[in-house]
Amino acid sequence: MNLSFFIAKKYFLSKKKRSFIHFISLISMLGVGIGLAALIIILSVFNGLEDLNREIFKSFDPDLKISAKTSKSFHPDADFLQRIRSTEGVAYCTEVYQDKALAKNQRAQTIVDIKGVDTTFALNKDFQKALVGGEMKVYVGPRAAAFIGAGVYNTLELTVNDFFKPIELLYPKNEKLNALNPESNVNRVSLEISGVFLLEQHYDNFVYLPIEVMEDLNEQVGRRTSLEINIQQGKDVQRIKAALKKFLPENLQIQDRDEQNASLLRAIRIEKLFIFIALIFVVGIAAFNIFYGLSMLVLDKKDDIATLSAMGANPQLIKKIFYVEGFIISGVGVLLGLVLGLGTCFLQMQYGFIGLGMDHAITEAYPVRIMLADIVGSVAGIILITFLASLIPANKAASFMLKS
């Protein structure tokens, strides 16, 4: 057994250790353990929230999305659309025009996101899981209809498949305002409700309607804000993205699902980074106890240091003893933190005992995903902090040896 480890272990387990030094060591171990457990749990929750957002994106957003780089909309011709739809691996391509409008009825009104789509949008099986009433379609027989979010449905107190209680959409005309006759400044359409979906609060105010009706509202026939492409199951999205990019005009861009939601995912990762830094700082404060405990241990073991010096020990050995002592204290804390943190995460994954506390949420419990990189990074941070906390006491012990 290594001599420095043997002596450090003896000091750690010594029954003669002063009770206050023992208490400080215990506080240090608990501080490191609780800090590491908090790091593992909170970082795992952030990983779970990132996965949850991706699951929501999967329901609402396409695998690939083509849109204009600078302008609001573009005009895809029939040949371009055919090339997309005939690309190997493409399941279907939905033509979309998205904008805002005023939705109203006799009881209330609200601003909504309107999304003109062709009938292929109903092929999205993940989106179909969000259906809570009616059917996912934009036509009821030959009549145009609206497929709406639960927020619009509740605000306007609408009814599904009721021809006599439609939703009215108002959209500004592309012409000079007429102050004398405000009603002439907007195009309007009344649609019955085909179905209602409930996904997440951000999507509650969406209204889907036929692309042909959207063209009547915005007076822009053939123009689209995006083309939403969904890929056949099991196909490589990035490979198909590269294939489509080869014939994409310069004024258009193609984005995968993560790129479509890059700002939100970036915000989650930045928040996770700041949480990591804050908790590492808390662990650093706990490491002050290691510093104080080792400093008092050095004072308590002055006679032992003198004895080791007389037996021929060099300053490096004395330093190493107190470095190892610090790592033993933090090591026990790390083991405690790993058991507590990983145990809590596994229990949450298995039983979901901590709920989100939200009605109609996609998942009832906080999502959790453990990442090895988070554990390694957290433990590495604690090792570095322990080394820094042990530095001064170890040098102090070596200086006692030189004086003796």
Going by C-alpha positions, the residue among 232, 52, 206 that lies closest to residue 125 is 232
Q: Report the predicted TM-score, pTM, of the whole model to 2 decimal places.
A: 0.74
Indicate if 35 and 101 belong to the same structural domain.
no
Dihedral sign (CA 217, 221, 225, 230) = positive
Place of tokens 């300053």: 315
Indicate if 225 and 271 belong to the same structural domain.
no
User: Rounded to 5 degrees, what are φ and ψ at 2?
Assistant: -60, 135
Indicate if 354 and 235 belong to the same structural domain.
no
DSSP 360-391: T-S-SB------HHHHHHHHHHHHHHHHHHHH
Which pLDDT does position 340 carry in this prediction? Answer: 93
**How do residues 158-192 score in pLDDT, each as one tens digit?**
888 777 788 999 998 876 666 555 666 788 899 99
Which pLDDT does position 31 carry in this prediction? Answer: 85
Which pLDDT does position 400 carry in this prediction? Answer: 57
Indicate if 25 and 68 belong to the same structural domain.
no
Indicate if 116 and 130 belong to the same structural domain.
yes
Indicate if 123 and 185 belong to the same structural domain.
yes
Which pLDDT does position 75 carry in this prediction? Answer: 92
Which pLDDT does position 399 carry in this prediction? Answer: 66
Residue 394, CA distances (Å) to 5, 19, 165, 240, 323 in order: 14, 21, 80, 60, 6
The DSSP secondary-structure symbol of 248 reads -
- The partner residues of 148 in beta bridges, in order of sequence, read 196, 207
Indicate if 204 and 120 belong to the same structural domain.
yes
Collect the ranges in the chain with pLDDT lower than 70. 1-21, 175-184, 297-315, 318, 322, 356-363, 394-404
Domain ranges, residue 297: 3-58+264-403
Residue where a domain terminates, one of 240, 257, 274: 257
Distance CA 340, CA 342 (A): 6
